[in-house]
Amino acid sequence: MSDQKLLGELVDIARAFAPYGKVADYIPALSNQNPDDLAICIYSIENESYYAGDHLKKFTLQSISKVITLALVLMDNGEDEVFSKVGMEPTGDPFNSIAKLETNIPSKPLNPMINAGALAVTHMIKGDTVIEKWDRLIEFISHLTGQQVTYNEDVAYSELQTANLNRSLCYFMKQHGVITGNIEDLLVLYTKQCAVEMNCVDLAKMGAVFANDGLDPESGRQLISKDVARICKTFMVTCGMYNSSGEFAIKVGIPAKSGVSGGIMGSVPGKCGIGIFGPALDEVGNSIAGTKLLEGLSAKYSWSIF
Amino acid sequence: MSDQKLLGELVDIARAFAPYGKVADYIPALSNQNPDDLAICIYSIENESYYAGDHLKKFTLQSISKVITLALVLMDNGEDEVFSKVGMEPTGDPFNSIAKLETNIPSKPLNPMINAGALAVTHMIKGDTVIEKWDRLIEFISHLTGQQVTYNEDVAYSELQTANLNRSLCYFMKQHGVITGNIEDLLVLYTKQCAVEMNCVDLAKMGAVFANDGLDPESGRQLISKDVARICKTFMVTCGMYNSSGEFAIKVGIPAKSGVSGGIMGSVPGKCGIGIFGPALDEVGNSIAGTKLLEGLSAKYSWSIF
Amino acid sequence: MSDQKLLGELVDIARAFAPYGKVADYIPALSNQNPDDLAICIYSIENESYYAGDHLKKFTLQSISKVITLALVLMDNGEDEVFSKVGMEPTGDPFNSIAKLETNIPSKPLNPMINAGALAVTHMIKGDTVIEKWDRLIEFISHLTGQQVTYNEDVAYSELQTANLNRSLCYFMKQHGVITGNIEDLLVLYTKQCAVEMNCVDLAKMGAVFANDGLDPESGRQLISKDVARICKTFMVTCGMYNSSGEFAIKVGIPAKSGVSGGIMGSVPGKCGIGIFGPALDEVGNSIAGTKLLEGLSAKYSWSIF
Amino acid sequence: MSDQKLLGELVDIARAFAPYGKVADYIPALSNQNPDDLAICIYSIENESYYAGDHLKKFTLQSISKVITLALVLMDNGEDEVFSKVGMEPTGDPFNSIAKLETNIPSKPLNPMINAGALAVTHMIKGDTVIEKWDRLIEFISHLTGQQVTYNEDVAYSELQTANLNRSLCYFMKQHGVITGNIEDLLVLYTKQCAVEMNCVDLAKMGAVFANDGLDPESGRQLISKDVARICKTFMVTCGMYNSSGEFAIKVGIPAKSGVSGGIMGSVPGKCGIGIFGPALDEVGNSIAGTKLLEGLSAKYSWSIF
């Protein structure tokens, strides 16, 4: 059976889990998604791609953007500066929790994959203005996908209106000197970052760059330094799948980052990138069918890194 | 330069960090250790070994034993039963913390590498009596090392006397039905397990079994099932190095488990096992020189799995 | 209308709330109680008593005993020694919580009304053996009630069997030096203390001693020093009614301590003691009808101290 | 010895403790205060006053304002509405903590004396605009003191600039529906409230109104309803003195509320109000000399309510 055909069969099997999940409902743009959607693209480091499902359907990155921004910021600022502001440790607390900021002294987000840490990372994007920072980020993402990407204005606007928990995290960190400057500016930038839109082929392409030690399989250019690509893949394993990162590492074993839109970006070192879109989420916030699909793929192709 | 010679040089470089650490001091047997000790063995899956430092010096496993017991218990009871009693998620809390047992409902240790989880795992060793359970465990460890190992009675006795925090964890878990039966029996078993004694060659040999998907490089026998070996290596990455597991994954990227005696067992998938003994600890409880040594080795040989 | 008759009417009104509560069910002896029971005695500092309901029915003190033991221990050891081991501050955490013991450094129970603090207090009863300590305590209680009291062996035995959470608290405190010595001995003493049995007249009599600045209204003897009586009444206000102590202070305003058996001992400074028995509990563990009864009494007689 | 003379002597004794404290230093206006200052006024419900120290020196209310605003808001909205948004229970956490907002479901500040609760209370002041709300509040305070009071603009401005922790609390509560509307407006109102300025005579006068069941000793008017006055005094006991409220209740036993400026308002039921200014603070944030002074007064005049 061809890889392409096998992929279609695995998607059909995984789609059966979608009804057990539910789409995010905190903003209209997400709650309107079709819970039965499931699409995947596998993009090899030899620049070949396979897909199944409606692979051209667009969705927003949401938390997946945390890894991309981290890569940019690490290259801009260096590891020492970045990790003086955000930790490297996984946490047993929810992604949007504020408690550890209070109990850990000095106050510092535990890692860049929880909201507090991601906000601190976005705060470090180089640029004098929000526009300059945004331009740098969207250009970087466009390089990774190989084409110009944009963001969904409705989603960004809705998220900014409902971003009070992130506001709370920001002001808490501002109080403790983790971040400085104008908080609304930072939130505008962060919500745009989360609202960047693409399809699963673009997402797989980005995953392939990480899988290929930062080298673009298409252009052959080094878009991310090898060390930074490695660091990002490490965070994807230790804290990429919200509060089931540990379970995902055991059952799947592929560096991956998910978002509340139902997207998952996977990166199999030395092999391929994976882009998945399946908006029905499990109780911790990962695509329920997407996770099952990755479990099947990892078992089939022995992709666990462990 | 030969691998053997290079290893000696890397050990000399790493030993310079020992004075910045300090040996565990909660029991006499540990506080009497020489802080300048540093020994390493690398045991390849082709059954070749290299070592440097005083590689015959014995030390106790302490928390390293948590991985070994987990392997035995997973093979005895199956994943479903084990993970109904202990979780798979890393935690931002200290290894001996009780707080999450109270705040997480239902009360269940977050993972098998923190003390609460390790006690719940040891509780699942098959056997009608403490003696039967102990015999099963020590026989299993002896198979892994390839020779009969024993435990240090002084260390086990001292630890049992000072085990009040572990007693507290046990009774808390008993209250919530995570464990049952006699707590003193469990603590006797657990402290003996922590007091198992070996040298860094034995430790590297065990690491090699995990690295070789559970297959003994010496005898060719399958001592651990492939799946269980993979699960153990995953936990070693997500929570093997106490509260700097995340940082270690980024800087070293090798599945590893450390103990408060100064031992570290590493396992490079498909390559080799590593045994290290360096009793001077950093502030989170890992061998300070041992960690530096692994960082050097990983960079030199590109052993990061990410 | 006479006070006696009014009391009967208030009891009838309050009893209507009993069906909204439920009796404690963690041991058989408590779960067998009749949820509709409601009895009260008011014992004035002029040595007059009024009662309504089945005032001769016996029940166990449970947490009410925490105040009595505190009085004894304060007189035995002095404020400085007692408060070096246990704090004076109310807590927003549940009465059986362990979390604050971990997060507060140095580890010390926040107050003597939560289980951890009460265990630390019982630990300070003078005596070389459990028997000596117990004899001192039961003699003290008998002086307060004016007649020999005993304990319910079934209740004490059942509670000892199920005391794993208290065991956990004890070993945690032993680890941190708050208590020393044999934990099972301490738990035997503590569970006997909780199982002391009396009726609501005895309970009201004890409350009257506190209300009368430690002076026995019956014999005229100073059973408790004035300062210690004041300290105990203060704790009854700030943390006597579990996690609704604050609400009780606002709505009732009478120093009071409740127990999971459904007993409440009240103490109106300069006026009277109150003993209530109503085993149907509200969701935080206070007698639901008893609380309503006190609210009615306080409003009727302006007994709030605020 | 006359009361007036005795007061002077007690002040001299208490002032000796000032060097062991230190003035608040988070804004210039507070850090410039003289740590040796200590002034007191006792204002009886018979409308007589006694004072010692520089009784005309002005200071800002800071957290003392929380009680006054609570009184106004309770009269405006009724108990049911107010306590649907803020709890009645003391907490073992710091006054500015956010953790309990996250762990308590539904998210609701534990009481009106911690910052989160006070912000929720200020949010309930009636009025269509910040100006209307402010006018109502300052008029209410002026009635209580018996003369027009104003606020310190420098202090209000400085506090607004550094109010990021309060911003964080507000947005967290907004996320959870505890408060609504514009957060900067609320913070402007809250910082003005905290910056209301008066001397210790004014403060004692306000305390006397609470002591006199809400009746103004000067004009004979009922400025606060009796129930609301009682509720406020209760909160002053259970959580008025930050994280040493429990200790203060035991050692002093007077309803009191302190502020970080060094002010303390006391209220001895049926006797007198007390106003103290002593800016050197102890480690929990209470006037160190002021606390000692109240301890002396309470012992001397048997003012403990317990």
Catalytic-residue membership of D287: no
C268-283 residue pLDDT tens: 999 999 999 999 999 9
Mean pLDDT of chain C: 95
Of B255-259, C59-63, C221-225, D24-28, the range with the lowest mean pLDDT is D24-28
Q: How many other C-beta atoms lie within 10 A of the C-beta of residue A53?
A: 23
Residue A94 burial by Cβ neighbours in a 10 Å radius (0-12, 13-18, 19+): middle
Q: Known binder of ligand: residue B260?
A: yes
D77-92 residue pLDDT tens: 999 999 999 999 998 8
Between A and B, how many CB-CB pairs are < 8 A? 108
Length of chain B: 306
Contact D102, C257 (CB under 8 A): no
- Cα–Cα distance, C127 to C140 (Å, whole number): 14
Residue B186 counted as domain residue: yes
What pLDDT was estimated at residue D92? 80
For chain D, residues with pLDDT lower than 50 are: none
What pLDDT was estimated at residue D1? 60
Per-residue tokens: B261: 């005696």
Between A and D, how many CB-CB pairs are < 8 A? 47
Q: Does B90 touch chain A (CB under 8 A)?
A: yes
ipTM value, please give it: 0.95
Partner-chain contact C97 B98, CB within 8 Å: no
Residues C268 and C157 in one domain: no
Contact A238, A253 (CB under 8 A): no
Residues B45 and B118 in one domain: no
Nearest chain D Cα distance for residue C249, angstroms: 7
Contact D89, D217 (CB under 8 A): no
What pLDDT was estimated at residue B240? 96
Binned at pLDDT 50, 70 and 90, residue C1 comes out as low
Per-residue tokens: A244: 């089931």
Residue D212 counted as domain residue: yes
Q: At what angle do helices B200-211 and B65-85 cross, to 10 degrees?
A: 40
- Cα–Cα distance, D170 to D172 (Å, whole number): 5
DSSP conformation letters of A113-155? TSHHHHHHHHTTS--SSHHHHHHHHHHHHHHHHTS--EE-HHH
C95-131 residue pLDDT tens: 888 888 887 777 899 999 999 999 999 999 999 999 9
Average pLDDT on C191-208 reads: 98
For the whole model, what pTM was predicted? 0.95
Residues B150 and B88 in one domain: yes
Residues D177 and D102 in one domain: yes
Residues B52 and B68 in one domain: no
Q: Known binder of ligand: residue C111?
A: no
- Cα–Cα distance, A262 to A277 (Å, whole number): 5
Closest residue to C306, CB basis, from D239, D245, D255: D255
Q: Given the structure tokens 């435990």, which residue do they identify? A: B151
Instruction: List chains touching C (3+ CB pairs under 8 A).
Output: B, D
Nearest chain D Cα distance for residue C213, angstroms: 9
Residues A38 and A78 in one domain: no
Catalytic-residue membership of D65: no
Residue B260 DSSP code: T
Collapsed DSSP state (helix, strand, coil) of residue A77? helix
Residues C188 and C118 in one domain: yes
Catalytic-residue membership of B190: yes
DSSP-assigned beta bridge partners for residue B196: B151
Cα distances from C178 to residues C66, C69, C171, C172, in angstroms, run 17, 17, 10, 9
- Cα–Cα distance, C288 to A191 (Å, whole number): 49
Contact D88, D236 (CB under 8 A): no
Handedness of CA D74, D79, D84, D90 (dihedral sign): positive
Per-residue pLDDT at A298 exceeds 70: yes
Q: Which helix (H) or strand (E) holds C233?
A: helix C226-239
- CATH number, residue B262: 3.40.710.10
Contact B33, B279 (CB under 8 A): yes
Average pLDDT on C236-264 reads: 97
Backbone angles phi and psi of B141, in degrees to 5: -65, -40
D159-182 residue pLDDT tens: 999 999 999 999 999 999 999 999
A161, A167, A169, A173 alpha-carbon torsion, rounded to 10°: 150
Nearest residue of A to residue D167, measured between CA atoms:
A171
Sheet holding C39-44: strands in order across?
C49-52, C39-44, C272-277, C263-268, C256-258
Residues D209 and D230 in one domain: yes
Q: Which amino acid is at D290?
A: G
Residues C175 and C88 in one domain: yes
Q: Does A169 touch chain D (CB under 8 A)?
A: yes
Q: Residues 99-128, chain A: which have Cβ within 8 Å of B?
A: 100, 104, 110-111
Residue C80 burial by Cβ neighbours in a 10 Å radius (0-12, 13-18, 19+): exposed
For D6-43, b where at least 16 C-beta lie within 10 A, e where not — what string?
Answer: bbbebbeebbebbeebebbeebebbeebebebbbbbbb
Instruction: List chains touching D (3+ CB pairs under 8 A).
Output: A, C
Nearest by Cα to B117 from B195, B170, B193: B170
B30-42 residue pLDDT tens: 999 999 999 999 9
| Residue numbers in B near C170 (CB within 8 A) | 168
Residue B138 burial by Cβ neighbours in a 10 Å radius (0-12, 13-18, 19+): middle
- Cα–Cα distance, A273 to A279 (Å, whole number): 19
Q: Known binder of ligand: residue D243?
A: no
Q: In chain D, at which residue ranges do the beta strands (DSSP E only) sit?
A: 39-44, 49-52, 59-60, 150-151, 196-198, 256-258, 263-268, 272-277
Helices (H) and strands (E) in chain C, counts: 13, 8
Write the CB contacts of B243 (distance below 8 Å, at least 6 apart in sequence): A89, B92, B94, B95, B284
Closest residue to D175, CB basis, from A97, A99, A168: A168
DSSP-assigned beta bridge partners for residue A258: A264
Q: Given the structure tokens 């007692």, which residue do they identify? A: C82
Residue C240 sits in which domain range? 3-62+196-301
Q: Known binder of ligand: residue B63?
A: yes
C151-189 residue pLDDT tens: 999 999 999 999 999 999 999 999 999 999 999 999 999
Q: Which of C171, C193, C215 is the last residue of a domain?
A: C193
What pLDDT was estimated at residue D173? 95
Cα distances from D257 to residues A83, A286, B125, D241, D245, in angstroms, run 42, 48, 58, 6, 9
Contact D211, D271 (CB under 8 A): yes
Per-residue pLDDT at B105 exceeds 80: no
Residue B306 counted as domain residue: no
Residues A95 and A185 in one domain: yes
Average pLDDT on B10-28 reads: 94
Q: Among all residues of C, which ones are annotated catalytic?
A: 63, 66, 190, 242, 260
First to last CA, chain D: 27
- Cα–Cα distance, B10 to B6 (Å, whole number): 6
Nearest by Cα to B95 from B276, B267, B244: B244
Catalytic-residue membership of B63: yes
Residues C148 and C235 in one domain: no
Backbone angles phi and psi of C243, in degrees to 5: -80, 15
Write the CB contacts of C225 (distance below 8 Å, at least 6 apart in sequence): C75, C214
Q: Which of A173, A194, A215 is the last residue of a domain?
A: A194
Partner-chain contact A90 B93, CB within 8 Å: no
Per-residue pLDDT at B189 exceeds 80: yes
Average pLDDT on B14-18 reads: 96
Residue B89 counted as domain residue: yes
Closest residue to A99, CB basis, from D99, D168, D174: D99
Peptide bond into D279 cis (omega under 30): no
Q: Known binder of ligand: residue B212?
A: no
Q: How many other C-beta atoms lie within 10 A of the C-beta of residue C76?
A: 15
Percent of all residues in chain A with a pLDDT value above 70, rounded to a whole number: 100
Q: Does A172 touch chain D (CB under 8 A)?
A: yes
- CATH number, residue D83: 1.10.1500.10
Nearest chain B Cα distance for residue A139, angstroms: 26
Length of chain D: 306
Per-residue pLDDT at B1 exceeds 70: no
Return the ∠ at Cα B243 (arms to B240 and B249), rounded to 5°: 55
Q: Which amino acid is at A169?
A: L
Q: How many domains does chain A have?
A: 2
Q: How many other C-beta atoms lie within 10 A of the C-beta of residue D180?
A: 10
A249-263 residue pLDDT tens: 999 999 999 999 999
- Cα–Cα distance, C163 to B10 (Å, whole number): 54
What pLDDT was estimated at residue B29? 86
Partner-chain contact B250 A243, CB within 8 Å: no
Residues B19 and B92 in one domain: no
Q: How many other C-beta atoms lie within 10 A of the C-beta of residue B243?
A: 22
Residue C47 counted as domain residue: yes
Q: Known binder of ligand: residue D157?
A: no
Q: Which of B165, B194, B223 is the last residue of a domain?
A: B194
